[in-house]
């Protein structure tokens, strides 16, 4: 079998680029998308290149970013826009291949091996995709072209923004090997430290080490990384639409006052579940795992999750399960400061599952219809037009702005 | 500074083969401009106005203008700058 042709396309500073496109006044300025700008908390989700020059990084608190770069402009995230642009990009990719695997919202692998004879070689297709995204979406991409996914991803990181880098079989030794070991997928901070201790600094060092030595140092992962560095990665690009492009949808909030009893927590869990469930429905997902996150007033935090029987996006089911998990795992040693709810292990609408005899599907259907009607009402008349009775127990708490603390995680590489 | 992006009312028709064809636009002052001819339809972003969608290259009174149809079902044009 000949070599595959794999592209990895990465939309540069995705959230920031989309915001800059929508507000041309921001062009050329240091911009960071993140958190709740008004409330002065939250983190940087994406920074523009101008902001990155000052050292602003993803994950930084907004106040830290402001210290590094006093002129920085903060923009609140518009997830609907990002999903729209991500979908438009995927529509373009789909004209070149059906083998398309999203890695997070802004990156995708494309296996174009079978369309090379029609559409041209990897570099030609990459050039075409890059210029179409620029023209049709108004943002730029970096694309890596190679014979496996790992090197394709290295290629897209090689030069940014708006660049195409090939990592062909006769090139990877000169292009990939001099790169820092930490540039390789799955070499995180702790792995990197371990490698440094034995004098392995570059990807080439990993490749030229003996496999047994790597296994000795890092266990099974050592062998995998050694394979990655030598170009032996043969993981397939997973076919389109076989999985949800994002891993989980979650929401968390720090309440205006500390929560001191079950009712307080129940109110906040319901608010969060409303927004999580609504967003699941909006994007056509259902979740199979529900997770809660609790932080007490000593800032000690923990998460607990539970797999549920039927995939769901019904508000009531998510909220009840979240509250049940909470009841099982919290002993009220301390008041609670922050609470989060997350739906994970997502499946899309085409997912089917085995029905069982003891669940009332008629009742679940009714719940879904009810939620759909509520979504509709809220879309037309605003979120507060219809509310649960629970919310009237303590208006101070239920008024907390369940502002979307969106988190979009890429799926793991190994599945 | 006035925004370059101007949302406008549009009269349009759906052809029987499923195409959406704008017929006229109504400017902010209420005057209606007939679209004489559509020269091109493609997906495009407007860096000047800030947005992306389906771009119609329209001839209006002998002048060429871009009319954009965004995915959120809104139509916009780029304001001509003095």
Query: Does A107 participate in catalysis according to the annotation?
Result: yes
Contact A181, A206 (CB under 8 A): yes
Please list every residue in chain A whose beta carbon sits closer than 8 Å to the beta carbon of residue B49.
24
CATH architecture under which domain A1-176 falls: 2-Layer Sandwich (3.30)
Contact A192, A185 (CB under 8 A): no
A412 pLDDT higher than 90 = no
CA pair distance A322, A294, nearest whole angstrom: 11
- Position A238 scores a pLDDT of 80
What value of ipTM does the predicted structure carry? Answer: 0.85
pLDDT in tens, A360-400: 888 999 999 999 999 899 888 887 788 888 888 887 777 66
Residue A208: alpha-carbon gap to chain centroid = 33
- Position A38 scores a pLDDT of 60
Contact A277, A368 (CB under 8 A): no
Cα of A18 to nearest chain B Cα, Å = 9
Contact B34, B58 (CB under 8 A): no
CA pair distance A186, A221, nearest whole angstrom: 9
pLDDT in tens, B12-48: 999 999 999 999 999 989 999 999 999 999 999 999 8
CA pair distance A176, A162, nearest whole angstrom: 19
Give mean pLDDT, residues A162-190.
Answer: 93
CB contact under 8 A, B49 and A85: no
CA pair distance A26, A23, nearest whole angstrom: 6
A408 pLDDT higher than 50 = no
- Retrieve residue A99's tokens: 């083998």
Strands A141-146 and A285-296, by their bridges, are unpaired
Residue recorded with tokens 């406008």: B8
CB contact under 8 A, B4 and A24: yes
CA pair distance A288, A359, nearest whole angstrom: 16
Please list every residue in chain A whose beta carbon sits closer than 8 Å to the beta carbon of residue B43.
88, 135-136
Give mean pLDDT, residues A319-344.
Answer: 93
- Position A37 scores a pLDDT of 57
CB contact under 8 A, A88 and B46: no
Question: Per-residue DSSP letters for A42-77?
Answer: EEEEEE-HHHHTTT--TT-BHHHHHHH-TT-EEE--
In sign, the C-alpha dihedral spanning A64, A68, A72, A75 is: negative
Alpha-carbon dihedral angle through residues A395, A396, A398, A399, given to the nearest 10 degrees: 100
Contact A181, A146 (CB under 8 A): no
Contact A34, A78 (CB under 8 A): no
Q: Where do the structural domains in chain A lie, given as residue ranges?
A: 1-176, 177-229, 248-398
Give mean pLDDT, residues A136-153.
Answer: 96
pTM, whole model, 2 decimals?
A: 0.69
CATH of span A177-229: 1.10.150.20
Q: Where do the structural domains in chain B lie, given as residue ranges?
A: 5-78
Residue B74: alpha-carbon gap to chain centroid = 10
CA pair distance A376, A278, nearest whole angstrom: 11
Q: How far apart are the first and last CA of chain A?
A: 24
pLDDT in tens, A116-137: 888 999 999 999 999 999 999 9
CB contact under 8 A, A135 and B45: yes
Superfamily of domain A248-398 in CATH is DNA polymerase, Y-family, little finger domain (3.30.1490.100)
A195 pLDDT higher than 90 = yes
Contact A171, A192 (CB under 8 A): no
């Amino acid at each position: 079998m000949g070599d595959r042709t794999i592209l990895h396309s990465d939309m540069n500073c995705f959230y920031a680029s989309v915001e800059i496109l929508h507000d041309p006044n921001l062009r050329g300025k240091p911009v960071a998308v993140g958190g709740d700008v008004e409330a002065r908390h939250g983190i940087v989700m994406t920074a523009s290149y101008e902001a990155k020059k000052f050292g602003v990084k993803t994950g930084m608190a907004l106040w830290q970013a402001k210290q590094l770069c006093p002129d920085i402009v903060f923009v609140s995230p518009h997830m609907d826009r990002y999903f729209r642009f991500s979908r438009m990009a995927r529509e373009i990719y789909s004209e070149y291949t059906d083998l398309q695997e999203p890695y997070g919202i802004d990156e995708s692998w494309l296996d174009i091996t079978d369309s090379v004879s029609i559409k041209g070689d990897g570099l030609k297709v990459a050039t075409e995709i890059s210029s179409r995204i620029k023209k049709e979406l108004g943002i730029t991409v970096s694309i890596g072209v190679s014979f496996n996914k790992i090197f394709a991803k290295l290629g897209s990181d090689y030069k940014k923004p708006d660049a195409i880098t090939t990592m062909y079989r006769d090139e990877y030794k000169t292009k990939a090997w001099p790169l820092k070991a930490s540039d390789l997928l799955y070499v995180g901070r702790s792995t990197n430290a371990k490698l440094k201790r034995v004098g392995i600094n570059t990807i080439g060092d990993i490749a030229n080490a003996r496999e047994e030595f790597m296994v000795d140092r890092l266990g099974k992962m050592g062998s995998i990384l050694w394979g990655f560095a030598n170009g032996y990665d043969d993981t397939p690009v997973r076919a389109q639409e076989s999985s949800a492009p994002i891993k989980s949808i979650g929401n968390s909030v720090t309440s205006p006052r500390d929560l001191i009893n079950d009712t307080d927590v129940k109110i906040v869990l319901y608010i969060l579940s409303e927004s999580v469930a609504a967003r699941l429905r909006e994007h056509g997902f259902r979740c199979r795992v529900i997770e809660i996150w609790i932080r007490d007033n000593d800032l000690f935090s923990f998460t607990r999750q539970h797999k549920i029987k039927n995939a769901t996006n019904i508000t009531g089911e998510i909220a009840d399960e979240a509250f049940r998990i909470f009841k099982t795992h919290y002993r009220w040693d301390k008041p609670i400061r922050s609470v989060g709810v997350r739906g994970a292990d997502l499946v899309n609408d085409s997912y089917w599952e085995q029905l069982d005899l003891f669940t009332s599907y008629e009742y679940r259907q009714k719940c879904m219809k009810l939620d759909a009607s509520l979504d509709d009402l809220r879309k037309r008349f605003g979120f507060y037009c219809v509310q649960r009775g629970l919310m009237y127990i303590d208006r101070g708490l239920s008024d907390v702005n369940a502002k979307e603390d969106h988190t979009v995680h890429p799926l793991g590489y190994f599945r | 500074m006035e925004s370059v992006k101007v949302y406008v009312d549009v009269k349009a028709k759906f052809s029987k083969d499923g195409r959406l064809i704008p017929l006229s636009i109504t400017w902010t002052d209420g005057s209606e401009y007939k679209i004489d001819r559509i020269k091109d339809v493609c997906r495009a972003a407007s860096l000047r106005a800030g947005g992306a969608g389906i771009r119609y290259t329209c001839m209006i009174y002998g002048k060429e203008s871009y009319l954009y149809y965004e995915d959120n079902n809104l139509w916009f044009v780029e304001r001509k700058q003095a």
